[in-house]
A and B are shown apart, each in its own frame.
Chain A
């Protein structure tokens, strides 16, 4: 049983498309993290949120605590957005539960 489930596992989009990646979790959390990993690269933190919505540039993250669900949206997608996006749930004890990631490919 996975504490964090992501969908879809793989996603291919045309440049300019609006993209949504979904994350559901079953544990109690203090925060929900969205992470990005480019091929062969390290993992970088995109968002950490515990309620509502956050926006950085073309990226938007939302969370619904009652439904235990979060989404990552990318507006006007670009080939450089091609990466693996990982959802991670953090509890108050500093434990992290990771999804298996969504592999995004944006085609020019």
Chain B
């Protein structure tokens, strides 16, 4: 069975440009998470979905970040415009509510120049 799939793996952009990341969770997983991870730090939650509903987006910088999970399956995270401080790894994870085990994608490493 395929794991959590993310793309792109790497993205280099200039500041003020837009960028989008895509995530396809494990089939049947109703909970989807987007995390940001800086070097040497643990993951920090950006947004959590239960099916198509964003149930926790309190840490999402809504002036420049947006996310959607329209059909409750795959999800997109967008940054517009990107700033230098957005350089980080963006991790997607999914879990099945009944079991609670968390599965991560490989991450999308963003470099903003």
Contact = CB atoms under 8 A, between A and B. Distances in A.
Contacts of B40: 100-101, 103
Interface of A: 4, 30-31, 33, 35, 41-45, 48, 86, 88, 90, 94-96, 98-101, 103
Given A86-B42, A96-B45, A99-B42, A42 B101 contact: no
A95 B48 contact: yes
Contacts of A44: 104
Interface residues of B, number: 23
Contacts of B93: 43
Given A94-B31, A94-B48, A94-B95, A42 B106 contact: yes
Contact of A45 (B43, B45, B101, B106): B101
Given A43-B43, A86-B42, A96 B107 contact: no
